[in-house]
Amino acid sequence: MATLIVHGGAGRWDPRIPRAEIDAGLDRALETGWRALEDGALSAVVAAVTALEDDPHFNAGIGAVRNADGEVELDAGVMTAEGLRTGAVAGMTDSASPVSVARAVLEDGRHVLLAAAGASRFAAEWGLPLAGRERLRESARALPGSAGGTVGAVCRDDRGGLAVAVSTGGVSGKFPGRVGDSAICGAGFYADAPGAACATGQGEAFIRLAGCRRAVELLAAGLDAPTCATRLIEELAERVGGEGGIIVVDATGRPGVARNTRDMPWAWRTEVGTARWSPA
């Protein structure tokens, strides 16, 4: 069964942003990703996350928050279960779609994680568009907390392929150079034969727990996707005092979502229907 889940970030959303606008952004991402499914799970998750990077309601791409120096530093990662193929970038200041650069790192295959100027040089050599530091700074969110923490997607395609993609502007006011879980394989994203997982929330907590790798281990131990998601968020709180959320899809295509934050917009689509989040 084909399944695609997207999320718009765990945390506390600005109540001035209408729920309908958040849902419209999720719907666009789901539709964009679903259309790309014919090219497999990786194409689906990258397409979905790219759509969220292009939406100023979300803390990624053009809607990202600024760091303590007023700059934008973006992280992203992608992974497929097949071959454990992985690509990630950190601290990009001049790409409105770092998830596309992360995919190129995966496709290139020489490295897993490129950072800052090296990631920008790599993107230029691959012919990927760079937005420019000033454009990203100007489009960055002026209101800390008005966007979620991260955007992401997980997918199982109808051939059994599994993939995950994630993108973020990080924490508003973060120390320059801070890298969160979204660029770290096993922490903010992971995919293997039992399933795929994508995290959002306090990045340092997911790094300490290796949260998404842990979620896939729970699937391997026999938990279904909904139970796995709930258990992971319980462990996040109990072991490292963390707050956040996670989306999970297992090898059969069953979706799972859990959070311990007030808000976490999400939506999923399968061959038999759709579902979406309910605010706390």
Of 2-16, 144-158, 238-252, the range with the highest mean pLDDT is 238-252
> Which pLDDT band, with edges at 50, 70 and 90, does 140 fall under?
confident
* Mean of pLDDT values over 36-50: 98
**Nearest 5°: CA angle at 240, between 239 and 244?**
110
Virtual CA dihedral for 81, 82, 84, 85, nearest 10 degrees? -110
> Cβ distance 199 to 150 under 8 Å?
yes
Q: In this predicted structure, what is the pLDDT of residue 145?
A: 43
Greatest Cα pair distance, the chain, in angstroms, is 48
Residue 275 has pLDDT above 90, yes or no: yes
Question: In the predicted model, what is the mean pLDDT of the chain?
Answer: 93
Contacting residues for 10 by C-beta, under 8 A, at least 6 apart: 148, 149, 150, 200, 201, 243, 244, 245, 259, 261, 263, 264
Structure tokens at 81: 């279960």
Determine the Cα–Cα distance for residues 107 and 103; give it in Å rounded to an integer. 6
What are the tens digits of pLDDT across the range 49-106?
Answer: 999 999 999 999 999 999 999 899 999 999 999 999 999 999 999 999 999 999 999 9
Which residues belong to the active site?
Answer: 150
Task: Please say whether the dihedral angle defined by the alpha carbons of residues 117, 128, 161 and 258, taken in this order, is positive or negative.
Answer: positive
| CA 71 vs CA 30, 142, 156, 170: distances in Å | 30, 12, 36, 12
State in Å, rounded, how far the first CA of the chain is from the last one.
30
Q: What is the pLDDT of residue 280?
A: 61
69-102 CB burial, b ≥16 within 10 A, e <16:
eeebbbbbbbbbbbeebbbbbbbbbbbbbbbbbb
Please, which residues have CB within 8 angstroms of residue 93's CB and are 6 or more apart in sequence? 71, 72, 73, 74, 116, 120, 133, 136
pLDDT in tens, 101-131: 999 999 999 999 999 999 999 999 999 988 8
